Structure 1
Amino acid sequence: MDAALFAKSLLLGLAIAAPLGPIGALCINRTLERGILAGLAGGLGTALADGVYASLAAIGFAAFSDALARIDMPLRLLGGAFMLWLGVREMRPAPPRAPAPVRPRDLLGTTASTFLLTITNPMTILAFAALFAGLGLAATSSNADAALVVAGVFTGSMLWWCCLSGGVALARHRLPPAFARWVARLSGAILIAFGLAALLTALA
Protein backbone atom coordinates (compact mmCIF):
# COMPACT_ATOMS: atom_id res chain seq x y z
CA MET A 1 0.00 0.00 0.00
CA ASP A 2 1.25 3.49 -0.89
CA ALA A 3 1.16 5.11 2.55
CA ALA A 4 1.95 8.59 1.19
CA LEU A 5 -0.94 8.45 -1.30
CA PHE A 6 -3.35 7.26 1.40
CA ALA A 7 -2.15 10.01 3.77
CA LYS A 8 -2.68 12.68 1.11
CA SER A 9 -6.15 11.35 0.38
CA LEU A 10 -7.04 11.22 4.08
CA LEU A 11 -5.83 14.82 4.40
CA LEU A 12 -8.08 15.78 1.49
CA GLY A 13 -11.08 14.13 3.19
CA LEU A 14 -10.36 16.04 6.41
CA ALA A 15 -9.81 19.34 4.58
CA ILE A 16 -13.11 19.06 2.71
CA ALA A 17 -15.14 18.03 5.77
CA ALA A 18 -13.64 20.29 8.46
CA PRO A 19 -14.80 23.82 7.50
CA LEU A 20 -17.96 24.61 9.46
CA GLY A 21 -20.42 25.24 6.66
CA PRO A 22 -24.04 24.20 6.30
CA ILE A 23 -23.30 20.48 6.62
CA GLY A 24 -21.24 20.92 9.79
CA ALA A 25 -23.99 23.03 11.34
CA LEU A 26 -26.54 20.35 10.43
CA CYS A 27 -24.38 17.63 11.98
CA ILE A 28 -24.12 19.56 15.25
CA ASN A 29 -27.85 20.23 15.29
CA ARG A 30 -28.73 16.59 14.57
CA THR A 31 -26.44 15.43 17.39
CA LEU A 32 -27.97 17.89 19.85
CA GLU A 33 -31.55 17.02 18.88
CA ARG A 34 -31.34 13.25 18.38
CA GLY A 35 -28.01 12.04 19.75
CA ILE A 36 -24.68 10.87 18.39
CA LEU A 37 -26.10 8.22 16.03
CA ALA A 38 -28.01 10.89 14.11
CA GLY A 39 -24.88 13.02 13.87
CA LEU A 40 -22.85 10.07 12.63
CA ALA A 41 -25.55 9.17 10.09
CA GLY A 42 -25.31 12.69 8.67
CA GLY A 43 -21.54 12.43 8.58
CA LEU A 44 -21.79 9.11 6.75
CA GLY A 45 -23.91 10.73 4.02
CA THR A 46 -21.30 13.43 3.55
CA ALA A 47 -18.40 10.96 3.57
CA LEU A 48 -20.17 8.82 0.94
CA ALA A 49 -20.65 11.88 -1.29
CA ASP A 50 -16.97 12.78 -0.86
CA GLY A 51 -16.13 9.21 -1.83
CA VAL A 52 -18.22 9.54 -4.99
CA TYR A 53 -16.33 12.68 -6.00
CA ALA A 54 -13.03 10.99 -5.21
CA SER A 55 -14.03 8.02 -7.39
CA LEU A 56 -14.91 10.23 -10.34
CA ALA A 57 -11.77 12.32 -9.97
CA ALA A 58 -9.47 9.32 -9.58
CA ILE A 59 -10.93 7.64 -12.67
CA GLY A 60 -10.13 10.65 -14.80
CA PHE A 61 -9.54 14.12 -13.42
CA ALA A 62 -9.83 15.88 -16.78
CA ALA A 63 -13.14 14.17 -17.52
CA PHE A 64 -14.28 14.90 -13.96
CA SER A 65 -13.54 18.62 -14.32
CA ASP A 66 -15.24 18.74 -17.72
CA ALA A 67 -18.33 16.98 -16.38
CA LEU A 68 -18.54 19.41 -13.45
CA ALA A 69 -18.39 22.34 -15.85
CA ARG A 70 -21.27 20.89 -17.87
CA ILE A 71 -23.60 20.33 -14.92
CA ASP A 72 -22.50 23.29 -12.82
CA MET A 73 -25.67 25.37 -13.27
CA PRO A 74 -28.20 22.56 -12.62
CA LEU A 75 -26.24 21.50 -9.53
CA ARG A 76 -26.18 25.06 -8.22
CA LEU A 77 -29.93 25.44 -8.74
CA LEU A 78 -30.75 22.07 -7.17
CA GLY A 79 -28.31 22.49 -4.31
CA GLY A 80 -29.42 26.06 -3.64
CA ALA A 81 -33.10 25.14 -3.56
CA PHE A 82 -32.43 22.15 -1.29
CA MET A 83 -30.37 24.28 1.11
CA LEU A 84 -33.12 26.91 1.24
CA TRP A 85 -35.72 24.26 2.06
CA LEU A 86 -33.55 22.73 4.79
CA GLY A 87 -32.68 26.17 6.14
CA VAL A 88 -36.31 27.21 6.56
CA ARG A 89 -37.05 23.90 8.27
CA GLU A 90 -34.07 24.26 10.61
CA MET A 91 -35.20 27.75 11.65
CA ARG A 92 -38.19 26.11 13.33
CA PRO A 93 -36.46 23.74 15.77
CA ALA A 94 -38.31 21.16 17.79
CA PRO A 95 -38.72 21.82 21.54
CA PRO A 96 -35.62 20.71 23.49
CA ARG A 97 -35.83 17.19 24.83
CA ALA A 98 -33.60 14.26 25.66
CA PRO A 99 -32.51 12.34 22.56
CA ALA A 100 -34.99 9.55 21.91
CA PRO A 101 -34.00 6.18 20.41
CA VAL A 102 -33.51 6.73 16.69
CA ARG A 103 -35.05 4.23 14.28
CA PRO A 104 -32.99 2.83 11.39
CA ARG A 105 -35.37 4.54 8.94
CA ASP A 106 -34.61 7.91 10.56
CA LEU A 107 -30.88 7.31 10.29
CA LEU A 108 -31.25 6.30 6.64
CA GLY A 109 -33.20 9.49 5.93
CA THR A 110 -30.53 11.62 7.63
CA THR A 111 -27.79 9.90 5.63
CA ALA A 112 -29.69 10.36 2.37
CA SER A 113 -30.42 14.06 2.97
CA THR A 114 -26.82 14.94 3.84
CA PHE A 115 -25.58 12.90 0.86
CA LEU A 116 -27.85 14.93 -1.45
CA LEU A 117 -26.84 18.19 0.20
CA THR A 118 -23.13 17.40 -0.20
CA ILE A 119 -23.35 16.05 -3.74
CA THR A 120 -25.18 19.22 -4.93
CA ASN A 121 -23.22 21.78 -2.88
CA PRO A 122 -21.24 23.95 -5.36
CA MET A 123 -18.71 25.01 -2.70
CA THR A 124 -17.89 21.39 -1.90
CA ILE A 125 -17.46 20.62 -5.60
CA LEU A 126 -15.12 23.55 -6.24
CA ALA A 127 -13.07 22.95 -3.08
CA PHE A 128 -12.75 19.26 -3.87
CA ALA A 129 -11.53 19.89 -7.42
CA ALA A 130 -8.98 22.51 -6.29
CA LEU A 131 -7.59 20.45 -3.41
CA PHE A 132 -7.52 17.25 -5.46
CA ALA A 133 -5.31 18.92 -8.04
CA GLY A 134 -3.25 20.80 -5.45
CA LEU A 135 -2.32 17.64 -3.54
CA GLY A 136 -1.22 15.93 -6.76
CA LEU A 137 -3.91 13.27 -6.55
CA ALA A 138 -4.92 13.81 -10.17
CA ALA A 139 -1.89 11.74 -11.23
CA THR A 140 -3.24 8.40 -9.96
CA SER A 141 -2.33 5.86 -12.59
CA SER A 142 -3.84 2.51 -11.62
CA ASN A 143 -7.02 1.00 -10.26
CA ALA A 144 -5.25 0.23 -7.00
CA ASP A 145 -4.18 3.87 -6.62
CA ALA A 146 -7.71 5.05 -7.42
CA ALA A 147 -9.18 2.71 -4.78
CA LEU A 148 -6.62 3.96 -2.26
CA VAL A 149 -7.55 7.57 -2.96
CA VAL A 150 -11.25 6.85 -2.49
CA ALA A 151 -10.61 4.95 0.75
CA GLY A 152 -8.41 7.75 2.07
CA VAL A 153 -10.92 10.50 1.26
CA PHE A 154 -13.80 8.54 2.82
CA THR A 155 -11.74 7.74 5.94
CA GLY A 156 -10.61 11.33 6.41
CA SER A 157 -14.11 12.71 5.98
CA MET A 158 -15.69 10.15 8.31
CA LEU A 159 -12.94 10.69 10.90
CA TRP A 160 -13.87 14.37 11.11
CA TRP A 161 -17.58 13.66 11.50
CA CYS A 162 -16.91 11.10 14.24
CA CYS A 163 -14.81 13.66 16.13
CA LEU A 164 -17.39 16.42 15.69
CA SER A 165 -20.42 14.30 16.64
CA GLY A 166 -18.58 12.69 19.54
CA GLY A 167 -17.39 16.04 20.88
CA VAL A 168 -20.86 17.58 20.66
CA ALA A 169 -22.46 14.52 22.29
CA LEU A 170 -19.98 14.64 25.19
CA ALA A 171 -20.46 18.38 25.74
CA ARG A 172 -24.24 18.30 25.31
CA HIS A 173 -25.13 17.90 28.99
CA ARG A 174 -22.86 20.80 29.98
CA LEU A 175 -24.58 23.23 27.64
CA PRO A 176 -27.56 25.44 28.57
CA PRO A 177 -30.99 24.25 27.37
CA ALA A 178 -31.28 27.17 24.92
CA PHE A 179 -28.02 26.22 23.16
CA ALA A 180 -29.65 23.62 20.88
CA ARG A 181 -32.33 26.13 19.87
CA TRP A 182 -29.74 28.74 18.89
CA VAL A 183 -27.65 26.18 17.03
CA ALA A 184 -30.75 25.18 15.05
CA ARG A 185 -31.39 28.80 14.13
CA LEU A 186 -27.74 29.35 13.20
CA SER A 187 -27.80 26.16 11.13
CA GLY A 188 -30.90 27.39 9.31
CA ALA A 189 -29.38 30.82 8.69
CA ILE A 190 -26.18 29.29 7.27
CA LEU A 191 -28.15 26.99 4.99
CA ILE A 192 -30.32 29.85 3.73
CA ALA A 193 -27.26 32.03 3.08
CA PHE A 194 -25.47 29.28 1.15
CA GLY A 195 -28.64 28.42 -0.73
CA LEU A 196 -29.22 32.01 -1.81
CA ALA A 197 -25.57 32.36 -2.85
CA ALA A 198 -25.80 29.20 -4.97
CA LEU A 199 -29.01 30.35 -6.67
CA LEU A 200 -27.72 33.87 -7.34
CA THR A 201 -24.44 32.65 -8.85
CA ALA A 202 -26.29 30.13 -11.02
CA LEU A 203 -28.74 32.74 -12.32
CA ALA A 204 -25.97 35.30 -12.81
Structure 2
Amino acid sequence: MYDILYLFKGMLVGLMVSIPLGPMGVLIIQKTLHKGALSGFIAGMGAASADFFYASVAAFGLGYVINTVQTHELLLQIIGGIFLLCIGLKIYFDNPIRQIRQRRQGRVSKTGLLGDYLSLFFLTVSNPITVVVFMAVFAGMSVFGESSSMLGELLVVIGVLLGGGVWWYTLSTLVNIFRKKFRLRVLITINRVSGLVITILGALVILAAFAPFKNLVIH
Protein backbone atom coordinates (compact mmCIF):
# COMPACT_ATOMS: atom_id res chain seq x y z
CA MET A 1 0.00 0.00 0.00
CA TYR A 2 2.85 2.35 0.88
CA ASP A 3 4.40 1.78 -2.57
CA ILE A 4 1.33 3.37 -4.20
CA LEU A 5 2.49 6.68 -2.72
CA TYR A 6 5.41 6.51 -5.13
CA LEU A 7 2.92 6.55 -8.01
CA PHE A 8 1.36 9.78 -6.75
CA LYS A 9 4.79 11.31 -6.15
CA GLY A 10 5.71 10.46 -9.74
CA MET A 11 2.48 12.01 -11.04
CA LEU A 12 3.27 15.20 -9.11
CA VAL A 13 6.74 15.31 -10.65
CA GLY A 14 5.27 14.69 -14.11
CA LEU A 15 2.86 17.59 -13.64
CA MET A 16 5.61 19.88 -12.34
CA VAL A 17 7.81 19.18 -15.36
CA SER A 18 5.02 19.42 -17.95
CA ILE A 19 2.95 22.42 -16.81
CA PRO A 20 5.47 25.23 -17.59
CA LEU A 21 4.60 26.28 -21.14
CA GLY A 22 7.85 26.18 -23.07
CA PRO A 23 8.15 25.51 -26.82
CA MET A 24 6.68 22.02 -26.36
CA GLY A 25 3.53 23.51 -24.85
CA VAL A 26 3.27 26.05 -27.66
CA LEU A 27 3.61 23.28 -30.23
CA ILE A 28 0.91 21.18 -28.58
CA ILE A 29 -1.45 24.16 -28.38
CA GLN A 30 -0.83 24.90 -32.06
CA LYS A 31 -1.52 21.28 -33.05
CA THR A 32 -4.74 21.30 -31.00
CA LEU A 33 -5.94 24.55 -32.57
CA HIS A 34 -5.45 23.31 -36.12
CA LYS A 35 -5.92 19.54 -35.92
CA GLY A 36 -8.08 18.99 -32.85
CA ALA A 37 -7.80 17.68 -29.29
CA LEU A 38 -6.69 14.17 -30.32
CA SER A 39 -3.69 15.49 -32.23
CA GLY A 40 -2.72 17.76 -29.33
CA PHE A 41 -3.04 14.95 -26.80
CA ILE A 42 -1.06 12.45 -28.89
CA ALA A 43 1.67 15.05 -29.38
CA GLY A 44 1.66 15.69 -25.64
CA MET A 45 2.10 11.97 -24.99
CA GLY A 46 5.19 12.12 -27.19
CA ALA A 47 6.66 14.70 -24.80
CA ALA A 48 5.46 12.68 -21.80
CA SER A 49 7.12 9.53 -23.20
CA ALA A 50 10.44 11.37 -23.51
CA ASP A 51 10.03 12.52 -19.90
CA PHE A 52 9.33 8.90 -18.95
CA PHE A 53 12.59 7.85 -20.61
CA TYR A 54 14.69 10.45 -18.81
CA ALA A 55 12.89 9.86 -15.51
CA SER A 56 13.77 6.16 -15.83
CA VAL A 57 17.41 7.04 -16.47
CA ALA A 58 17.44 9.33 -13.42
CA ALA A 59 15.56 6.88 -11.17
CA PHE A 60 17.48 3.71 -12.03
CA GLY A 61 20.87 5.42 -12.37
CA LEU A 62 21.63 4.05 -15.82
CA GLY A 63 25.26 5.17 -15.88
CA TYR A 64 25.95 4.23 -19.51
CA VAL A 65 22.96 6.20 -20.80
CA ILE A 66 23.83 9.20 -18.62
CA ASN A 67 27.45 9.18 -19.82
CA THR A 68 26.35 8.88 -23.45
CA VAL A 69 23.89 11.75 -23.06
CA GLN A 70 26.52 13.93 -21.39
CA THR A 71 29.10 13.07 -24.05
CA HIS A 72 26.77 14.11 -26.87
CA GLU A 73 25.03 16.92 -24.98
CA LEU A 74 26.20 19.67 -27.35
CA LEU A 75 25.21 17.73 -30.48
CA LEU A 76 21.79 16.81 -29.08
CA GLN A 77 21.07 20.41 -28.10
CA ILE A 78 22.05 21.69 -31.57
CA ILE A 79 19.89 19.03 -33.26
CA GLY A 80 16.97 19.96 -31.02
CA GLY A 81 17.43 23.65 -31.84
CA ILE A 82 17.56 22.99 -35.59
CA PHE A 83 14.46 20.79 -35.30
CA LEU A 84 12.64 23.61 -33.50
CA LEU A 85 13.73 26.12 -36.16
CA CYS A 86 12.38 23.90 -38.96
CA ILE A 87 9.08 23.25 -37.16
CA GLY A 88 8.66 26.95 -36.30
CA LEU A 89 9.18 28.00 -39.92
CA LYS A 90 6.83 25.28 -41.16
CA ILE A 91 4.11 26.43 -38.74
CA TYR A 92 4.64 30.07 -39.74
CA PHE A 93 4.16 29.36 -43.44
CA ASP A 94 1.46 26.67 -43.06
CA ASN A 95 -2.12 27.38 -44.10
CA PRO A 96 -4.31 26.68 -41.02
CA ILE A 97 -7.50 26.94 -43.09
CA ARG A 98 -6.43 23.95 -45.19
CA GLN A 99 -5.59 21.97 -42.05
CA ILE A 100 -9.00 22.72 -40.52
CA ARG A 101 -10.80 21.68 -43.71
CA GLN A 102 -8.90 18.38 -43.76
CA ARG A 103 -9.90 17.73 -40.16
CA ARG A 104 -13.57 18.49 -40.87
CA GLN A 105 -13.43 16.02 -43.75
CA GLY A 106 -12.00 13.36 -41.42
CA ARG A 107 -8.59 13.34 -43.07
CA VAL A 108 -6.44 13.31 -39.92
CA SER A 109 -4.64 10.04 -40.63
CA LYS A 110 -2.97 7.63 -38.26
CA THR A 111 0.29 8.54 -39.97
CA GLY A 112 -0.35 12.16 -39.07
CA LEU A 113 -0.99 11.26 -35.43
CA LEU A 114 2.15 9.11 -35.36
CA GLY A 115 4.07 12.07 -36.77
CA ASP A 116 2.65 14.31 -34.04
CA TYR A 117 3.79 11.82 -31.39
CA LEU A 118 7.26 11.24 -32.80
CA SER A 119 8.01 14.91 -33.47
CA LEU A 120 7.32 15.87 -29.84
CA PHE A 121 9.12 12.79 -28.53
CA PHE A 122 12.33 13.50 -30.44
CA LEU A 123 12.19 17.22 -29.69
CA THR A 124 11.88 16.55 -25.96
CA VAL A 125 14.41 13.72 -25.85
CA SER A 126 16.95 15.86 -27.74
CA ASN A 127 17.24 18.06 -24.63
CA PRO A 128 19.74 16.17 -22.43
CA ILE A 129 19.34 18.63 -19.56
CA THR A 130 16.01 16.90 -18.82
CA VAL A 131 17.74 14.00 -17.07
CA VAL A 132 19.53 16.48 -14.79
CA VAL A 133 16.19 18.17 -14.06
CA PHE A 134 14.67 14.86 -12.98
CA MET A 135 17.68 14.02 -10.81
CA ALA A 136 17.38 17.40 -9.10
CA VAL A 137 13.61 17.11 -8.62
CA PHE A 138 13.83 13.56 -7.29
CA ALA A 139 16.51 14.61 -4.83
CA GLY A 140 14.86 17.89 -3.85
CA MET A 141 11.49 16.29 -3.20
CA SER A 142 13.01 13.21 -1.52
CA VAL A 143 10.88 11.13 -3.87
CA PHE A 144 12.48 7.79 -3.09
CA GLY A 145 13.68 8.05 0.49
CA GLU A 146 16.13 5.66 2.13
CA SER A 147 13.93 2.57 1.87
CA SER A 148 12.88 2.80 -1.75
CA SER A 149 12.49 -0.46 -3.68
CA MET A 150 12.69 -1.37 -7.33
CA LEU A 151 8.88 -1.42 -7.36
CA GLY A 152 8.79 2.06 -5.83
CA GLU A 153 11.18 3.41 -8.47
CA LEU A 154 9.12 1.79 -11.23
CA LEU A 155 5.91 3.33 -9.85
CA VAL A 156 7.56 6.76 -9.74
CA VAL A 157 8.52 6.72 -13.43
CA ILE A 158 5.10 5.36 -14.39
CA GLY A 159 3.61 8.20 -12.35
CA VAL A 160 5.73 10.69 -14.30
CA LEU A 161 4.19 9.39 -17.54
CA LEU A 162 0.66 9.49 -16.09
CA GLY A 163 1.13 12.98 -14.65
CA GLY A 164 2.34 14.30 -18.00
CA GLY A 165 -0.52 12.55 -19.77
CA VAL A 166 -3.10 14.08 -17.42
CA TRP A 167 -1.72 17.57 -18.05
CA TRP A 168 -1.55 17.26 -21.85
CA TYR A 169 -5.06 15.78 -21.98
CA THR A 170 -6.37 18.65 -19.86
CA LEU A 171 -4.56 21.29 -21.91
CA SER A 172 -5.57 19.89 -25.31
CA THR A 173 -9.20 19.51 -24.17
CA LEU A 174 -9.43 23.09 -22.87
CA VAL A 175 -7.75 24.55 -25.95
CA ASN A 176 -10.06 22.53 -28.20
CA ILE A 177 -13.12 23.93 -26.40
CA PHE A 178 -12.01 27.52 -26.93
CA ARG A 179 -10.76 26.77 -30.46
CA LYS A 180 -14.34 26.68 -31.70
CA LYS A 181 -14.77 30.32 -30.67
CA PHE A 182 -11.84 31.55 -32.75
CA ARG A 183 -12.41 33.04 -36.18
CA LEU A 184 -10.18 31.93 -39.05
CA ARG A 185 -8.35 35.27 -39.08
CA VAL A 186 -7.50 34.81 -35.40
CA LEU A 187 -6.26 31.28 -36.07
CA ILE A 188 -3.99 32.57 -38.84
CA THR A 189 -2.55 35.16 -36.44
CA ILE A 190 -2.01 32.50 -33.77
CA ASN A 191 -0.28 30.34 -36.38
CA ARG A 192 2.10 33.16 -37.32
CA VAL A 193 2.86 34.13 -33.72
CA SER A 194 3.39 30.56 -32.49
CA GLY A 195 5.60 29.78 -35.50
CA LEU A 196 7.67 32.89 -34.83
CA VAL A 197 7.98 32.10 -31.11
CA ILE A 198 9.11 28.51 -31.77
CA THR A 199 11.61 29.69 -34.42
CA ILE A 200 13.11 32.22 -31.99
CA LEU A 201 13.27 29.59 -29.23
CA GLY A 202 15.03 27.20 -31.62
CA ALA A 203 17.63 29.88 -32.39
CA LEU A 204 18.11 30.53 -28.66
CA VAL A 205 18.60 26.81 -27.99
CA ILE A 206 21.36 26.68 -30.63
CA LEU A 207 22.99 29.83 -29.24
CA ALA A 208 22.75 28.46 -25.71
CA ALA A 209 24.80 25.44 -26.75
CA PHE A 210 27.76 27.78 -27.28
CA ALA A 211 27.02 30.27 -24.49
CA PRO A 212 27.63 30.34 -20.71
CA PHE A 213 23.90 29.73 -20.10
CA LYS A 214 24.00 26.19 -21.52
CA ASN A 215 21.34 24.96 -19.13
CA LEU A 216 18.47 26.29 -21.25
CA VAL A 217 15.68 23.74 -21.06
CA ILE A 218 13.50 23.38 -24.16
CA HIS A 219 10.43 21.94 -22.49
Counterpart of 2:36?
A: 35
Counterpart position of 2:215: none
In structure 2, the partner of 1:116 is: 122
Alignment CA distance shift 1:125-1:147 (3 Å): closer
Larger radius of gyration: 2
SS for the counterpart of 2:93 is coil
* Compared CA separation, residues 144 and 16, structure 1 to 2 (3 A): same
How far 1:58 moved relative to its partner? 1.1
Q: Residue in 1 aligned with 2:208?
A: 201
Tell me the TM-score normalised to structure 2 length.
0.83
- Identity score, percent: 36
CA–CA separation in structure 2 for the residues paired with 1:74 and 1:43? 24
The residue that corresponds to 1:186 in the other structure is 193
Q: Which one has a larger percent helix, Structure 1 or Structure 2? A: 1
Q: 1:125: Cα distance to partner?
A: 4.7
User: Does residue 174 of structure 1 match 2:181?
Assistant: yes
Q: Distance in 2 between matches of 1:60 and 1:164?
A: 31
- Which structure 2 residues correspond to residues 74-85 of structure 1 after superposition, within 5 A? 74-85=75-86
Structure 1 unaligned spans of 5+: none
**Cα pair 2:34 2:96 within 8 Å, conserved:** no
Shift of 1:64: 6.2
Deviations 1:44-68 (A, max 9, x none): 1111111111111111177665554
Q: Is the CA contact (8 Å cut-off) linking 1:54 and 1:150 kept in structure 2?
A: yes
Farther-moved stretch of structure 1 (62-71 vs 138-147)? 62-71
Structure 2 alignment gaps of length 5 or more: 212-219
Shift, 1:126, TM fit: 4.8
| Cα deviations by residue, 1:2-21 (Å, 9 ceiling, x for unpaired) | 23322221111111111111
Preserved CA contact (<8 Å) 1:25 1:186: no
CA RMSD of aligned residues (A): 2.2
User: Are residues 1:154 and 2:161 paired?
Assistant: yes
**Matches of 2:148 and 2:67, distance apart in 1:** 19
Q: 4+ residue stretches of structure 1 with deviation over 6 A?
A: 61-64
Q: Aligned-pair distance for 1:187?
A: 2.1
Describe the superposition over 1:56-94 as per-residue Cα deviations: whole angstroms up to 9, x where unpaired. 111117766555432221111111111111111111131
